Chains A and B, each alone.
Chain A
Amino acid sequence: MTIKPNAQAFLDMIDTHKGIIYKIANSYCKDKENRKDLIQEIIIRLWLAFEKYDPTYKISTWMYTIALNVSISFYRKEHRRHQINHSLPEVIHLYEQTEVDDTHVAIERLQLFIKELKEIDRAVMLLYLEDTSQEEIAQILGITSTNVSTKIYRIKQQLKQKFSTINT
């Protein structure tokens, strides 16, 4: 069966931005099977919305909005996942590194602290770390740029505090 042209464009877009999907899903899902399900769910929702995508918006803004909306509201589905035991096919696979160096430990620690943040704060922090501008964060979340900068400042303080507790 041949792939439709828009499906081809969609797959290329997913391939280019697979990191966005993985990073968001990983930040909202601790369990590996649930994460596979969440990644699938994000891709399904992106595909369903793909026809409506307005190219005047940045593709990353559109992807972050959908991926965050799906991930934050995943709690509605998560409890039912526990009742389904079959293994899902993997769409995005991460080849785990075997070597554990200082950078690896620091990444793991940062991810852990991010996962401990409240859902909306986590979204703000992820977008900040992804080098997204304050205006874009405001647009994705639906808040003002001033509110974004206040929140970023507070969340960074929280993270610094968490890091300082291990360093002391």
Chain B
Amino acid sequence: MASVFGAAVKRREDPRLITGNGRYTDDIQLPGMLYAAILRSPYAHARIRSIHVEKARQLPGVVAVFTGSDVAGKVGPIPTAWLPPNSGIKTPAHPPLAVDKVRYVGDGVAMVVAESRYIARDALDLIEVDYEVLPVVVDPEKAMAEGAPLVHDDVPGNVAFHWEAGGDPAPAFEQAEVVIRHRFRQQRLVPNPMEPRAAVAQYNAGSGDMTLWVTSQNPHIHRVLLSNILGIPEHKLRIVAVDVGGGFGCKIPCYADEALVAFAARELGRPVKWTEDRREHFLATTHGRDEVIDAELAGKRDGTMLGLRVRMVANMGAYLSTAAPGVPTILFGLITVGPYKIPYAHTEVYGVFTNTTPTDAYRGAGRPEATYVIERMADLFAKEIGMDPVEVRKKNLIPAEEFPYTTPLGLQYDSGNYHGALQKALDMLDYDRLRKEQEQLRAQGRYIGIGWSTYVEICGLGPSQVAGAVGFQGGLWESATVRVHPGGKVTVFTGTSPHGQGEETTFAQIVADRFGIPIEDVEVVHGDTDRIAMGWGTYGSRTTPVGGNAIAIAADRVLEKARKIAAHMLEVAEDDVEFTGGMFKVKGVPGRQVKFQDVVLQAYLAWNLPPGVEPGLEAQAFYDPVNFCYPFGAHACVTEVDPETGEIKILRYVAVDDCGPVINPMIVEGQVHGGVVQGIGQALWEGAVYDDEGQLVTGSFMDYAMPKARFFPKFETAHTVTPAPHNPLGVKGIGETGTIAATPAVVNSVVDALRPFGVTDLEMPLTPEKIWKITHGREAR
């Protein structure tokens, strides 16, 4: 049998999902179920003078209306679970419903529970809230200025935290022949999974058990947090998140809404459902990015990078969402040097409160911003010293023989062959020929650009000891149970919580490969705290490198025991048994063998087990990685700009990624495609815009441009394989690389295309009018 590890097996979850047989939270219907709707603030900053809910309560079909003061002391507060050390972090109380003040448009003010969604929605219009509108601040730098409105009265200057990493880079700047200084803006993005957030709660008053079906990337983390918020002990609280329609980070946080649904179900003794609508999603679900970054790069005229100084002001929104403080600090601030050998580096980050929707992780989370800054700086540096951007990269990429490589920011990059990936991308692109073609086309008045992004990312979160050291309020190991049933079929329980990434398939491949059994014989169970001991969920491209390795280890423990039983059955010493192709064989004696399934059956019958071996065949593993993983690669984007209208066309996109051994090339390619699309989305189209009153003016798909398939050419993808040396499978994460790499590749490409117009930088998103304003009435040189 050909190995299933490395095979492009079709996603096993797809038939279920595409035939409408998935079971998303909103699909759940329970007898007697009620529906909740949440009244949200129309103002970005206002004092609540009074709330009158009587008319809403009197609407036929309304069962209950709860305000902030009704739930105070019974629900919440909503916690922040990543507290970077030595940052002076302030976590002002985050009530589940606003009590005295609303702090952003979308802030919850009251919850209606009714017999139908329609009645609940109608009742919202009957609630009368008297607001005293207060001055608003939406820009994080303005929020830090003297005299700015305070989002939280007890947080002076609106500074939520101030964090630093690295040493003093002054020596680099003293030696520098060239210093590049530049300011970058990372516009705010709105994560938009196809499925909005939803929750269904059912409380059993007899047993005191609460079940909460919820759109979560990490149900066990939600259990820990909601247990505290609701005062329900963990063994009485079951969180279920099996089919989740995408998350991209916005389903990591613990929100007030889901807690309120559980509270209402307990209070009213009936199941309660709440499903966010898309408009609500734009306002009330966490956003991503939104930072201003000042960078300084010290270098020599021969192209050597010497030092990097980065200062970021990050817009955290009105409250610190669950994992939010970790994003601009640990996930951005520690990897600003990218794949380059830069001896000195320092990062400084201010996290700032504003009257906007809270930000948190969004695919890539911090790493896209870091990659953007260093990749744009690399191009600016190249231009300044008159070098080809590829040559600058080649000169500074960390050489393959220097791994593991410790950066000046304290990370140890595990393994890499950065030059190898770059060379492969150069070959695929036929770079030298393309540069010549570019020159020829310019002469004809056509503007083609070639943009590069060589990246490394930190993922596979992560070693728990490090998690603690960087202020993550949890572990980052992962659990797996591999249970072999008497008939030889296998159930795998994982503490990760895939929600579109395809691990029901890839995890089955890992186990099928190890046991030499058909993939159909393996079932992967995830997303239910009653079925899975413990786990930390799916984010930070950790599912396969951490959860997958936990499964491999558990599977090997099963095999270890099976081998003992097989040796006993074959009447030889354990050392004389080898396991290949699903068969335990006596070495050197062809034909003396026993099938995996027969050994399994004996383990359960237990009629004749070797001494000291217990019946049954299952194993559990709690795998705590010794390091993060550092996938890397080289992406190149070729664009053409129409100088007459400013429209940008993507002509080619080449992605060479290295995530170690590939378990399923089709799924990996899918992850790269999706990631690249989202990365390009930031470069060209997406951008959440607030007006000065704190109103989100891009609050629907009519204004907020999501990438669409027709915007793209066929992507050209390839891989190099450099295993992670510290985990059994050697795998690295691939879920975010596309998003991390793509954005600067596109911007570098468009800037390159417009070089004849004297362009050195462009602010994202690169909307056509911005380009037109540059090219209009200007002669190319």
The answer on A and B forming one complex is: no
- Interface set of B (CB-CB < 8 Å, partner A): none
- Interface set of A (CB-CB < 8 Å, partner B): none
